Amino acid sequence: MFSGVDQKMCTGPQENVVEKLIPVYFRNFLHIDVNEVQEACRQLELHDDQLRLIMDNMNERFENGLAAEPTNTAAIKMLPSYVRGLPDGTERGEFLALDLGGTNFRALWVHLTDGEAEITSEVFRVPDYIMKGTGEALFDHLAKCLAKFMEEHGLKGREKLPLGFTFSFPCKQERLNCARLANWTKGFKASGVEGVDVVELLKDACARRGDIDVDVVAVINDTVGTLMAGAYKENTCNIGVIAGTGSNACYMEKVSNIEKINENSSSDHNEMCINIEWGAFGDDGALDFVRTKYDKIIDDGSINKGQQLFEKMVAGMYLGELARVILEDLARKGVLFGGEYEAISQHGIFPTKYISEIESEFQENQDSSCQFLKTREIFEDIGIPVVTSADCAHVAYICSLVSRRAAHMVAAGIATLLKRINKPFVTVGVDGSVYRFHPTFAKLLDAKIDELLERKHKYKLMLAEDGSGRGAALVAAVATRLANEHQDRKIQG
């Protein structure tokens, strides 16, 4: 995490790292013809007028997704989370949280006191045969893991604790504690779950055991959890963003603007968290004017062609592959690696972590003495034994443009939300591996948001850690607090 981002408000653009990189790139390797490299990458450079058009297109889709009757082609779903409040610092007590979003499953015991969260957690594996078996077997496995965790920490037989359940798969949320799985992703294929409320499945599995009883008060996804984790640290946090293997965002919207839930705003809870699912932005053609031939190759080779097009341009699952297809194209043209292209033509051989490693090396050694030891090692492992210094500089340049475009597109999304919320000051909670580990992504993101906003919009980016775990417990805590407040009002009334 870039520490300066935590302290910065909208006070002026930071130094553009890539603009600094390009002159060095030319100065040290003038004997190399770089025209073809520049030409290949030109389409990756988005200008502010293009980014502002992306913002306009995105906000139009936000409005459509919130409408009482969204069009059938609505790419951005704008899913109500039924989370109606954020932490206010008064949350106290003990809570359980469960986190299922992949092959690992976490159980957490969270103790909230005076703005601090003491967390005890354990990770359990979900075997492949469980992932692809029956829904009953899957939820029995989750209940078994939860029972083991509660036994080990002396939580069995105690007063029933409120539980928040992070279930990071596409769902139709009907209430805060009711979410029906739309379709499995991430290799899961357990039968009998799609279309069913996952909270009820978890409760039924616990009941079958007979030794644990849980009060599942909320089910969320990891993006909503990120917002909650951020709001627990800063009460001005109104936006949560994931910039990691995937990409998504959520924000607090006025209930009066959410036409499709057919509810009136109330003086008590006039906002609700909206899970945008912005990875699908562009599926309706809204990004066609900035998509390159390389983006189309990525999409054609994916298992969900024509879907999640924004995510395929900005998320860690795809950035390494995007850089690889550019490198392959240039190698086939004889511009890189002496025309050796067979090794780099293998799908998936250039993961996104290579982008971070290569850019880090080049940022640290921007002079003629740079030996590109890490970059050479990467390509030797790939199967390209002879890589010149010019090749390495070309590769660093290409990686920089791939990651810069991703940062700028995410920045356009965040700037759209900041304008939409239109509050005097907003903290944006961000989590994800790309934001955390890429050497310049956080700086590029922050600087471009600044450039796209009017001066009246003040903001801060903040690392909001462990939304899928801590955030689930916080949703349970807030739901419990709001329920208690409602009960108190009834008694007093």
The domains of the chain are located at: 1-80+234-453, 93-220+468-492
CA angle at 312 for the pair 404 and 345, rounded to the nearest 5°: 90
Residue 478 to residue 225: CA distance in whole angstroms = 12
Cβ-based neighbours of 31, under 8 Å, separated by 6 or more = 390
- End-to-end alpha carbon distance in the chain: 49
Q: In this predicted structure, what is the pLDDT of residue 399?
A: 96
Give Cα separations from 161 to 93, 157, 164, 216, 223 (angstroms).
9, 11, 10, 9, 24
Q: Strands of 237-243's sheet, edge to edge?
A: 79-80, 271-275, 247-254, 237-243, 425-431, 458-463
Pick the CATH number of 93-220+468-492 from 3.40.50.720, 3.30.420.40, 3.40.50.300, 2.60.260.20: 3.30.420.40
The whole-number pLDDT of residue 358 equals 95
Give the per-residue pLDDT at 482: 83
Please state, in angstroms and rounded to a whole number, the distance separating the CA atoms of residues 66 and 60.
10
The separation between CA 92 and the C-alpha centre of its own chain, rounded to angstroms, equals 28
The span from the CA of 351 to the CA of 361, in Å, is 16
pLDDT of residue 4: 35
Pairwise CA distance, residues 493 & 490, whole Å: 5
* 83 Cβ contact partners less than 8 Å away, ≥ 6 residues apart: 176, 218, 220, 224, 228, 272, 273, 475, 478, 479
pLDDT score at 9:
37
Task: Provide the angle, in degrees to the nearest 10, between the axes of the packed helices 373-382 and 352-364.
Answer: 150
Spell out the per-residue pLDDT of the chain, length 493, in tens. 333 343 333 333 333 444 444 445 444 543 445 678 888 888 899 999 999 999 999 999 999 999 988 776 678 999 999 999 898 888 889 999 999 988 889 999 999 988 788 999 999 999 999 999 999 999 999 999 999 999 999 998 888 899 999 998 888 899 999 999 988 888 889 999 999 999 999 999 999 999 998 899 999 999 999 999 999 999 999 999 999 988 999 999 999 999 988 765 444 678 999 999 999 999 999 999 999 999 999 999 998 899 999 999 999 999 999 999 999 999 999 999 999 999 999 999 999 999 999 999 988 776 556 688 999 999 999 999 899 988 998 999 999 999 999 999 999 999 999 999 999 999 999 999 999 999 999 999 999 999 999 888 999 999 998 888 889 999 999 988 887 776 666 666 6
pLDDT at 487: 65
CA-based nearest residue to 391, from 43, 44, 33: 33
Among 76, 56, 73, 54, smallest CA distance to 65 is for 76
CATH (one of 3.30.70.100, 3.40.50.10790, 3.40.50.2300, 3.40.367.20) for 1-80+234-453? 3.40.367.20
Furthest-apart CA pair in the chain: how many Å?
82
Residue 170, pLDDT score? 83
How far is residue 194 from each of residues 106, 110, 223, measured CA to CA in Å?
A: 22, 30, 21
Catalytic residues: 186, 222
Q: What is the pLDDT of residue 385?
A: 86
Pairing state between β 171-175 and 237-243: unpaired
CA distances from 298 to 80, 311, 319 (A): 31, 11, 10
What sign for the dihedral angle of Cα 21, 24, 29, 33? positive
pLDDT attached to residue 31: 43
**What is d(CA 156, CA 154) in angstroms, rounded to the nearest whole number?**
6
